[in-house]
Amino acid sequence: MADETENAIDALLQETRWFPPSDEFRAKANVSNDAVYETARNDREGYWAGWAEQLDWQTKWDKVLEWEPPYAKWFVGGKLNASHNCLDRHLATKPGKLAIVWEGEPGDVRSYTYGELHAEVSRFANALKKLGVTLGDRVAIYMPLVPEAIVAMLACARIGAAHSVVFGGFSSEALRDRIQDAGAKVLITATSGYRRGNLVPLKKLADAAVVECPTIEHVVVVMRRAAADEADDTVTVNARDRWYHELISRESADCEPVWVDSEQMLYTLYTSGTTGKPKGIIHTTGGYLTGCYATTKWVFDLKDDDVYWCTADIGWVTGHSYVVYGPLANGATVFIYEGAPDWPKQDRFWQLVEKHKVTIFYTAPTAIRAFMKWGESLPKSHDLSSLRLLGSVGEPINPEAWMWYHRNIGGERCPIVDTWWQTETGAIMITPLPGIVATKPGSATKPFPGIEAKILNQQGQPVEVGGGYLAITEPWPSMLRGIWGDPERYEKQYWAKWPGIYFTGDGARVDADGYFWLLGRVDDVMNVAGHRIGTMEVESALVDHPAIAEAAVVGIKHEIKGTAIAAFVIVKSSAIDAAKSNLAAFEQELKQHVSDKIGAIARPEKILLTVDLPKTRSGKIMRRLLRDIAEGRALGDVTTLADPTVVASLKERYEEES
């Protein structure tokens, strides 16, 4: 928690403007009575059960909650199916309603009605069954944002298999590690995907990963381009490979969903923590779906005629909860776009909003800051009048970006919901309800009804007004159920700080109005362009390079990304001369190495060569000091350093270089 951020927030609080919901918005809002907060607090379990009742259950639960900290079971004894809830139950009322409208980066458009999506998911689910996938198996998905990725997720859910989606921007090695950890049986991928006019060779990357994944029995491949174009020699077809289009063409569009236990694992999704190894967060079916359904309906004020666009990729939790499960469980029309926001030009998003008449738009602050930089003339040149609500997620939104978003995208008429949550929480936790909560730019406002969030001090005592650690003090339906294969880490990471209380890893402040202001991570996790990356992961990738002896990574301020990565490296003496002979090339090589090991999102912005690293007497790297150095600030307190001269020389060298 940087003091600077706290000071900035204090200054802001003095002059904060309030943005109350307009009378017009409130009049039509899905929730317009603040009594919901109290109703939920007075009978939390009854309130959540009320939401769960809005889903379809094949067998109703016997008990709403079983809580043996830190293990929760929600809707115990109930049976349901997530794909049935996202598809079948809408068929009677809206078979012809559009479920997905997709635009590829080159401009190709495809759409699926609920009827069509249901048929395609059923066909693919039948195909997966024939490939031997059954209840409880894990299936890895490594795809661009194409409709088939959503079909793949829902087809897994239909037969009770758990998906493990790996972001298409991750490297082959990152994919390999995640497949191995989950022990996935089948991998679903695509020949390629478009990014800034280029084709990312996903199948090739997948092939390289699978070589070291003995559990994979089959690889299913979606042909991304037209058949004629894809028949190039970059795509090799092995004996274990199956073409998606061939599989589904043979299957029937009837597939009885497998009714699973409410606590059956729906998916695992890997996210970064404070060690070098990403952890597979486990979400189960009944509680997760309830949380996604409820928050989508109230936070986005979703109506039957909305065209809803969440710009997240399905490789992240936002894509799981707010591209797939939340909106489809609500029977919404979901718009998705495959490519980059600046392709072919920097107005692509606004062109898409205008063309597809998007009404709800949910994106990340890093994107908003990029739009600000590209200039307001771009949104101005498009008709954005279809928009009625805007959302933000992934990192704190700075008030300047909030105001810009409000004026230039929202036309000063759309409420903005700044939603705080995590892969672990499954669904939105702190957020305005747009019909009742007045917003303050930069604040995520209040916990969603039914969520008990508090700011605690180190000892676990609540802070009424002021800063501390953000904690969730009562269980909630969409909470993580564990870390795949590592219950110990689950208990230690989230529940050890204060018994029975969930520790988020975030610092926050609460103001006199009870509004929450998120301050960022308090652990060794960076938030780079809204994506979580552990410092240790990048450090492990760096020391894997033959020339590197030791590495320390810190997050530094970045105008667009919020945080960028700076890496301090100690070069092995045997490699030092070669490195120094062409420093620029050496730095490039290291950056590329990290990119190859993890993915482009982890590529360091800055590499700083050093002969030593500042450590405390107990040997812990002093990251705060490194951050000061990398950002060119004056040195802080160095008295706890084992060797204070180390830092002084580091800083000198850094200042000479920059």
CB under 8 A, 24+ apart: contacts of 465-469: 465/510, 465/511, 465/512, 466/509, 466/510, 467/1, 467/6, 467/507, 467/508, 467/509, 467/519, 468/507, 468/508, 468/509, 469/497, 469/503, 469/504, 469/506, 469/507, 469/508, 469/522
Verify binding: residue 393, ligand WTA, rule CB under 6 A. Answer: yes
Beta carbon of residue 507, minimum distance to ligand WTA (angstroms, whole number): 9
The bridge status of strand 606-610 relative to strand 562-571 is parallel
Indicate the residue among 7 and 249 with the shorter CB distance to ligand WTA.
7
Contact string 552-591 vs ligand WTA (x = CB under 6 A): ----------------------------------------
Asked if 565 contacts 553 with a C-beta cutoff of 8 angstroms, the reply is yes
**Which positions from 444 through 483 interact with ligand WTA, judged by CB under 6 A?**
444
Least Cβ distance, residue 517 to ligand WTA (angstroms): 9
271 makes contact with ligand WTA (CB under 6 A): yes
Q: Does 422 bind ligand WTA (CB under 6 A)?
A: yes
With contacts defined by CB under 6 A, how many residues of the chain interact with ligand WTA? 23
What gap in Å lies between CA 546 and CA 314, rounded to an integer? 34
**Token pair listed for 274:** 């404070």
- Using CB under 6 A as the binding rule, whether residue 419 contacts ligand WTA is answered as yes
Q: Where does this chain touch ligand WTA (CB under 6 A) — which range of 12-20, 315-323, 493-501, 573-581? A: 315-323
Q: In this complex, which beta carbon is closest to ligand WTA, that of residue 170 or of residue 316?
A: 316
For the record, the structure tokens of 450 come out as 């039914």
Cα distance between residue 621 and residue 327, in whole Å: 44
Contact pick of 506, 539, 587, 628 for ligand WTA (by CB under 6 A):
506
Residues 113/78, Cβ–Cβ less than 8 Å: no
Radius of gyration of the chain (CA): 24
Contact between 395 and ligand WTA by CB under 6 A: the answer reads yes
Helix (H, G, I), strand (E, B) or coil at 614: coil
**Minimum distance from CB of 78 to ligand WTA (Å)?**
26
H and E: helices and strands count for the chain: 25, 30
Which residues between 132 and 191 bind ligand WTA (CB under 6 A)? Answer: none
What CA–CA distance (Å, rounded) separates 270 from 538?
Answer: 16
Q: Whose Cβ is closer to ligand WTA: residue 368's or residue 609's?
A: 368
Among the listed residues 418, 537, 539, 587, the single contact to ligand WTA using CB under 6 A: 418
Q: Does 408 sit near ligand WTA (CB under 6 A)?
A: no
Q: Which residue from 293, 421, 469, 476 is in contact with ligand WTA, where contact means CB under 6 A?
A: 421
Helix, strand, or coil here: 186? strand
Q: How far is the CB of 393 from ligand WTA (least distance, A)?
A: 5
- Measured CA to CA in angstroms, residue 365 lies from 303, 350, 408, 428, 498 at distances of 25, 16, 14, 16, 31
Q: Which of 314, 317, 328, 480 binds ligand WTA (CB under 6 A)?
A: 317
Per CB under 6 A, 420 contacts ligand WTA: yes
Q: Encoding tokens for residue 221?
A: 């491949």
- If binding is defined by CB under 6 A, does position 318 make contact with ligand WTA? yes
* Footprint on this chain of ligand WTA (rule: CB under 6 A): 271, 316-318, 393-396, 418-423, 444, 504-506, 518, 520-521, 527, 532
